[in-house]
């Protein structure tokens, strides 16, 4: 009998982490690889936040904290939701986790029974399906195409709901496409959900603050207050505050759900680190002016990448409103052969050939559940992006 549990048979390691590891391996061989695979800001954590973390260590805040976080942090989360989203939660409706990833994991483990269905619009963030599988639930994918701007239509949502549907996971702005739902888009989704009172919603708002062209971010609970009692609103500091390594994410929702999530955490991670919590109080309460500056840089990079990829033969690239990803279609490259003699039949063939022949690391659309596409993260220096896009253009023009 295997030592490994049966439930692990359908779980894969994160494909985005695998690309990063492959790029690092080529770099170690002396190859000048440009990594556009990782979903991580190249900016540093702002100084005032770092200082708060250091001060917490010096002040001896180095011990266990409550599982659901120090009261100052829960208060900062309640205030954030009120101030920025017009949502009123109590302090005991706050869950603090070890990154947004663990918040989602806790929510799924606390609620999904074997056989429960979780609707996941595709393309999706790579971890959602595997988390549902670990909980022995059934991911139900709904394809949202380039023509639909990668957003879930009310018709497709309606068709995907069954008696076994427990959750819909909604991520805006999206990883991997950068697609962002307007208030109107959200209302259309909400109208369907109002007709199906057994369906709950996790909104993953991790990229809330990374929006461009004056896009106004809204979250579902704010757009449709009648759904408030069955929404878990999830957010975090990793992306906007460039705090990926600190590991803090948070969520607010109905008390019984939050209590169950806290119970899981009390029996696993206990809580995120005490100094991280202190730094996050400063992140949420402190100045946010650095964001406008950084977003101007992201927007410039987005425009650069969309422009250059638009000139690459066989690619089609939408201009996303948020996050720091683009998700070009490679439909025009399928069936061709690369300069190095590799046949491009799938997006995995495309990214493998691109990495081996032009040393650009990206992630195949297959990993996100919608092909034929690939994902590029533009959270890297402008010089690196120009060089990478030049290589992609050359790669595409060499296809025959």
Min dist CB 172 to ligand PLP, Å, is 9
| 197: Cβ contacts below 8 Å, ≥ 6 apart | 230
> Which CB sits closer to ligand PLP, 39 or 137?
39
Residue 148 structure tokens: 């639909």
3-class SS string, the chain: CCCCCHHHHHCCCCHHHHHHHHHHHHHHCCCCCEECCCCCCCCCCCHHHHHHHHHHHHCCCCCCCCCCCCHHHHHHHHHHHHHHHCCCCCHHHEEEECHHHHHHHHHHHHHCCCCCEEEEEECCCCHHHHHHHHCCCEEEEEECCHHHCCCCCHHHHHHHCCCCEEEEEEECCCCCCCCCCCHHHHHHHHHHHHCCCCCEEEEECCCCCCECCCCCCCCHHHHCHHHHHHEEEEEECCCCCCCCCCCCEEEECCHHHHHHHHHHHHCCCCCCCHHHHHHHHHHHHCCCHHHHHHHHHHHHHHHHHHHHHHCCCCCECCCCCECCEECCECHHHCCCECCCCCECCCHHHHHHHHHHHHCEECEEHHHHCCCCEEEEECCCCHHHHHHHHHHHHHHHHCCC
| Candidate list 34, 35, 36, 39; residue touching ligand PLP; CB under 6 A | 39
Closer residue to ligand PLP in complex, CB, 20/65 = 20
194: left (phi over 0), alpha (psi -120 to 50) or beta: alpha
The residue with its CB nearest to ligand PLP is: 99
How many whole angstroms separate alpha carbon 312 and alpha carbon 256? 52
145/244 with CB nearer ligand PLP: 244
Least gap, CB of 247 to ligand PLP (angstroms):
7
Is residue 238 at the binding interface for ligand PLP, with CB under 6 A as the rule? yes
CB of 206 to ligand PLP, least distance (A): 4
The span of 66-74, 94-102, 339-347, 371-379 binding ligand PLP (CB under 6 A) equals 94-102
> Quick check: 204 binds ligand PLP (CB under 6 A)?
yes
Q: Does 46 bind ligand PLP (CB under 6 A)?
A: no
**Least distance in angstroms from the C-beta of 391 to ligand PLP:** 25
CB-nearer residue toward ligand PLP: 23 or 344: 23
Closest CB 220 distance from ligand PLP, rounded Å? 15
Distance CA 41, CA 61 (A): 28
For residue 347, state whether it binds ligand PLP (rule: CB under 6 A): no
State how far the Cα of 172 lies from the Cα of 54, in Å rounded to an integer: 33
Residue list 95-114, contact with ligand PLP (CB under 6 A): 99-101
Binding mask 304-343 for ligand PLP (x = CB under 6 A): ----------------------------------------
**Candidate list 20, 65, 85, 175; residue touching ligand PLP; CB under 6 A:** 175
Residue number with CB closer to ligand PLP (206 or 389):
206
Query: By CB under 6 A, is residue 253 in contact with ligand PLP?
Result: no
Whose Cβ is closer to ligand PLP: residue 99's or residue 129's?
99
The C-alpha atoms of residue 396 and residue 18 are separated, in whole angstroms, by 24
Of 38 and 199, nearer to ligand PLP (C-beta) is 38
Q: Is 236 in the site for ligand PLP (CB under 6 A)?
A: yes
CB nearer to ligand PLP: give 245 or 307.
245
Nearer to ligand PLP, 168 or 396 (CB): 168
Q: How many residues bind ligand PLP (CB under 6 A)?
A: 13
Q: Which two tokens stand for residue 62?
A: 């180095």
Q: How far is the CB of 169 from ligand PLP (least distance, A)?
A: 9
Contact with ligand PLP (CB under 6 A): which of 171, 262, 295, 362? 171
Binding-site member from 125, 200, 241, 374 for ligand PLP (CB under 6 A): 125
Of 171 and 338, which CB lies nearer to ligand PLP in the complex structure? 171
Considering beta carbons, is residue 125 or 167 the nearer one to ligand PLP? 125
Residues contacting residue 154 through CB under 8 Å, at least 6 positions apart = 188, 189, 191, 192
- Residue 68 interacting with ligand PLP (CB under 6 A): no
Residues lying near ligand PLP in the complex (CB under 6 A): 39, 99-101, 125, 171, 175, 204, 206, 236, 238, 244, 249
């Amino acid at each position: 009998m295997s030592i490994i549990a049966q439930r692990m048979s359908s779980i894969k390691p994160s494909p985005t982490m695998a690309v990063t590891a492959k790029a690092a391996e080529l770099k170690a061989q002396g190859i000048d690889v440009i990594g556009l695979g990782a979903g991580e800001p190249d900016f540093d954590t702002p100084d005032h936040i770092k200082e708060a973390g250091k001060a917490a260590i010096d002040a001896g805040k180095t011990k266990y904290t409550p599982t659901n976080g120090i009261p100052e942090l829960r208060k900062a989360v309640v205030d954030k939701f009120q101030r920025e989203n017009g949502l009123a939660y109590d302090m005991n409706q706050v869950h603090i986790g070890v990154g947004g990833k663990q918040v989602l994991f806790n929510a799924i483990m606390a609620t999904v029974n074997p056989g429960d269905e979780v609707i996941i619009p595709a393309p999706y963030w790579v971890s959602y399906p595997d988390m549902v599988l670990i909980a022995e639930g059934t991911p139900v994918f709904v394809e949202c195409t380039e023509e639909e701007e990668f957003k879930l239509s009310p018709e497709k949502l309606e068709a995907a709901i069954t008696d076994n549907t427990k959750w819909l996971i909604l991520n805006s702005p999206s990883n991997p496409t950068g697609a962002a739902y307007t208030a109107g888009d959200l209302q259309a989704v909400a109208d369907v959900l109002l007709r199906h009172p057994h369906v709950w919603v996790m909104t993953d708002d991790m990229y809330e603050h990374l929006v461009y062209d004056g896009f106004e971010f809204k979250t579902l609970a704010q757009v449709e207050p009648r759904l408030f009692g069955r929404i878990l609103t999830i957010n975090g500091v990793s992306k906007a505050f460039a705090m990926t390594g600190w590991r803090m994410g948070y969520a607010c929702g109905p008390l019984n759900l939050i209590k169950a999530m806290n119970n899981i955490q009390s029996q696993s991670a206990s809580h995120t680190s005490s100094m991280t919590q202190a730094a996050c109080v400063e992140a949420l309460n402190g100045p946010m002016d650095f964001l406008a500056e950084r977003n101007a840089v992201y927007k410039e990079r987005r425009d650069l990448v969309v422009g250059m990829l638009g000139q690459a033969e066989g690619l089609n690239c939408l201009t996303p409103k948020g996050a720091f990803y683009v998700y070009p279609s490679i439909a025009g490259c399928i069936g061709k052969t690369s300069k190095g003699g590799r046949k491009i039949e799938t997006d995995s063939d495309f990214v493998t050939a691109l990495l081996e022949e032009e040393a650009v690391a990206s992630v195949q659309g297959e990993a996100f559940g919608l092909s034929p596409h690939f994902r590029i993260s533009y959270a890297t220096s402008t010089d690196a992006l120009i060089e990478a896009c030049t290589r992609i253009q050359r790669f595409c023009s060499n296809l025959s």
